[in-house]
Structure 1
Amino acid sequence: MEYKEAVKQIKQKKFSPIYLCYGTEKFLMNEFIQFLINEFIDPVHKDFALSHFDLNETSIDQVVEDVETLPFMVPNKLVIAKNANFLTGSRDKTKVEHQIEKLENYIHSPVDYSVLVLYVQAEKLDERKKIVKLLKKQNHLVSFPPLKPNELSKWIQNRVKKHGCMISEQTAETFILYAGTNLQTLAAEIEKCCLFAGADQEITREMINQLVVRSVEQNIFILVDEIVRKKLEQALTIFYTLLKQKEEPIKIISLIARQFRIILQVKELSSKGYSQYQIASQLSIHPYAVKIADGQGKLYQERDLVDILNKLAELDYQIKSGQIEKVLGIEKFLFQVNI
């Protein structure tokens, strides 16, 4: 089940004896586990009712033993074990030996005074494994996939609302453009903007531009968007900002090329009938990046994108061979693609 369904059940005080949390949205996973802690355990009982394990250091059989042990001085307990990598297809690099049958037996006959939470940051579990099939059959899996573009925008709006402020859907899109899709980063930047704005105030694009710290990658993301929209002045402004931040022009060229390559790949895969979510998985990028690239790609023919990539490759060669000065070369490129 998806985490939203699990949250709904927990709010109704319907607790599963086991939760196997997996996916790439680590921030949501951590929030879910904290929510479960708050709902399942009385705050005064936390010292005795909560246990944490790292499965890179402790075997699953030891964890199950703790789950089965009667709680001391409290009515129930919550046992949380991270890094359940033995449930994925990745190679286990630790020397810990897990007796999986111990967990299998527990799944068939869980105790009624404990809740076990296993979690791993992985896109997929290995569903060929008997233990994963069993956990799935018993409906113990809770997935945390990347938020879809509309979900991400809604998440920002809800987060802002929790801080007592307001934000429009369009401005939420600007937030993503400036801060990226990492929820941890977005949460921190939202809190900053809300503190600046004050209670019951609206977060504006100007505030975001003034307050949000942009990574090099996000600046390039915005730079490429300005190139696509043929806004030369804005593109040059971002480029000069990157230079003031001591960013190497060769790196800037490489990142611009990467973004145009993504636009081309998204365009090609989209023409073959792939959904945005399938494309995101295939290219290992966030669905929101696919959404933006898909919109940008509609403004070009495939041959135009190939031509831009060829221009960037030629520029890279000319700079490295001393045929053109770095800054002048990028300025020339920006003028060419904005004609």
Structure 2
Amino acid sequence: MANRNHAKKEHAYKIIDREIKSHSVNNLLFFYGEEDFLIHWAVETIVKEYVNEACRELNFSRLDGNAVTFEQIRNNCETLPFISEKRVVLISDFKLIEGIKSRFINEEEEKLLVSYLKQLPEHCILIITADSADKRKRLYKAVLDQGSVYEFGKLDESSLISYITKRFRKSGKKAKPSVIAQIIETSGYYDKDTDYSLYNLENDIKKAIAYNDDIYIEPESVYNTISGNLDTDVFAMIDSLSQNRKEDAYHILHNLLSSGENEFKLLALLASQFEIVLAIKEMKEEGKSFLQMKEILGIHEYRIKKAAFFTNKYTISSLKKILMKIYNIDKSIKTGLLEPSLALEIFISEI
């Protein structure tokens, strides 16, 4: 079998989409990564392409990767398709390929599985999915050697914009570039350690479409329907502070506290965001390029763009003073000198 593994420059969904359309899909596939939405899409698209919908239950098997045995895998793969071009077998959430031991497949059976992957029948497409991959495992190496591996990470900015635009268009709606940018920023899709995924975005887009009666999606719709995350709210607070809109900053703070957010977590995020702004400010003054900043900071370019927006509103000296205030407030809370919510209010009043 040809080894068709691909560089990260092109997203996995584009590669697999092209291969499905050209009917050149390998019969051993491994999908992993943080974008479950795209992994689910890829599996369903393959099933629709190769399996007769009328006989789906006979030709598509979904095996639980946490409890599957080698015999179950082999028996399902060996079963011939019925009135369909291929039989598709899915092993979902297969922890063994992540390097986690299975109670149902011992070491000897794993060797048998590795050997079996080299002789998969042509009538079968075997798809393995997992959250991550242990690239040291012989199972991963066998899939890499005999099949195709696809990492479904987050979409790049242009692909995300295209996805949002197409979703609105499909529903008879339109959105200006500024509104789409607002959706991306409010959602926090690119924020560090966020759990906001395309599943969340898909649901939020549906809510925005239902909320908006006009053809054009309005900024108000975004504000009222995009769920976003804590990082986004903290950025909004910093934005309010940078424009001396302290009432807005207090409003954001009180909303976060009333929703149960932890004061220490809020303070840590404020420190992290201002540290990024300071780092970008210093690197800009040193003449470093955007690519150099991205490499040094090791964060997504969208986060750099968001933070860079504030660099013209603060001097290096003022940013250092703000960070010192945050560090001192953190110390005062931990030593019992200040009550956490009061300390955060004092911070806003003194900026």
Please indicate, yes or no, whether the TM-score normalized by the shorter chain is above 0.5.
yes
Match of 1:208 in 2: 222
RMSD between superposed Cα atoms in Å = 3.4
Are residues 275 and 103 of structure 1, via their aligned partners in 2, closer, same or farther at CA, if it must alter by over 3 Å? farther
Q: 2:183 — aligned with what?
A: 175
1:9 — aligned with what? 19
From the superposition, tell whether residues 143 and 215 of structure 1 become closer, same or farther in structure 2 (CA, over 3 Å): closer
- In structure 2, the partner of 1:157 is 165
Alignment partner of 1:193 is 2:236: no
SS of 1:21's equivalent in the other structure is strand
- Residue in 1 aligned with 2:88? 78
Note if 1:260 corresponds to 2:270.
Answer: no
State the distance in 2 between where 1:230 and 1:208 align. Answer: 24
Q: Cα 1:83–1:60, aligned 2, differ >3 Å: closer, same or farther?
A: farther
* 3-state secondary structure, aligned to 2:204: helix
Contact preservation (8 Å) 2:28, 2:146: no
**Contact residue 177 and residue 222 of structure 1 kept, 8 A:** no
SS at match of 1:118: strand
1:92 is aligned with what amino acid?
A: K
Structure 2: distance between partners of 1:80 and 1:287: 35
Check if 1:30 corresponds to 2:45. Answer: no
Output one character per residue of 1:256-313: Cα deviation in whole Å (capped at 9) or x when no partner. Answer: 2343345456778996987677568x56xx6533442354457656665443232112
Q: What does 1:269-284 correspond to in 2, within 5 Å?
A: none
Q: Distance in 2 between matches of 1:128 and 1:265?
A: 36
Question: Which residue of the partner structure matches residue 97 of structure 1?
Answer: 106
Distance of 2:26 and 2:60 partners within structure 1: 16
Q: Do 1:78 and 1:115's aligned partners in 2 also have CA atoms closer than 8 Å?
A: yes
Q: Is the 8 A contact 1:87 1:132 kept in 2?
A: yes
SS of 2:57's partner is: helix
Q: Distance in 2 between matches of 1:172 and 1:60?
A: 47
Is 1:59 the counterpart of 2:69? The answer is: yes
Whether the aligned pair in 2 keeps the contact of 1:48 and 1:73 (CA below 8 Å) is no
- Is the aligned partner of 1:126 residue 2:140? no
Q: Which amino acid aligns with 1:41?
A: V
Q: Is the 8 A contact 1:22 1:143 kept in 2?
A: yes
Could you tell me how far 1:189 is from its partner in structure 2? 0.7
**Which structure 2 residues correspond to residues 34-49 of structure 1 after superposition, within 5 A?**
34-49=44-59
**Matched letter for residue 162 of structure 2:** K
- 1:220 partnered with 2:228: no
* Conserved? CA contact 1:61–1:100, under 8 Å: no
Identity among equivalent positions (%) equals: 24
Matched residue of 1:147: which SS?
coil
Could you say what secondary structure the match of 2:135 adopts?
Answer: coil
Deviations 1:99-135 (A, max 9, x none): 344444444333221111001112xx33344443443
- What do the CA deviations read for 1:124-150 (whole angstroms, capped 9, x no partner)? x33344443443344511221222233
In 2, Cα distance between equivalents of 1:228 and 1:152? 28
Shift of 1:48: 0.4
Q: CA–CA distance in 2 between the matches of 1:277 and 1:91?
A: 33
List runs of 5+ in structure 1 lacking aligned partners: none
TM-score, length-scaled by structure 2: 0.78
Q: Extract unaligned runs of 5+ from structure 2.
A: 1-5, 7-11, 190-196
Matched with 2:151 is 143
Cα distance in 1, alignment partners of residues 206 and 59 from structure 2: 31
Provide, for residues 227-269 of structure 1, a one-character-per-residue CA deviation record: whole Å limited to 9, x for no partner. 3455434323322333454555455334323433454567789
For the 8 Å contact 2:69–2:104, the answer to whether it is kept is no
1:142-201 CA-to-partner distances (Å, cap 9, x unmatched) read 221222233323322222223321112221121122223121111101011112224x71
Does structure 2 retain, via aligned residues, the 8 Å contact 1:266–1:279? no
What is the CA-CA distance between 1:316 and the residue it aligns to?
A: 2.9
Distance in 1, Cα, partners of 2:180 & 2:43: 26
> 1:264/1:130 Cα in 2 relative to 1: closer, same or farther (>3 Å)?
farther
Alignment length (residue pairs): 330
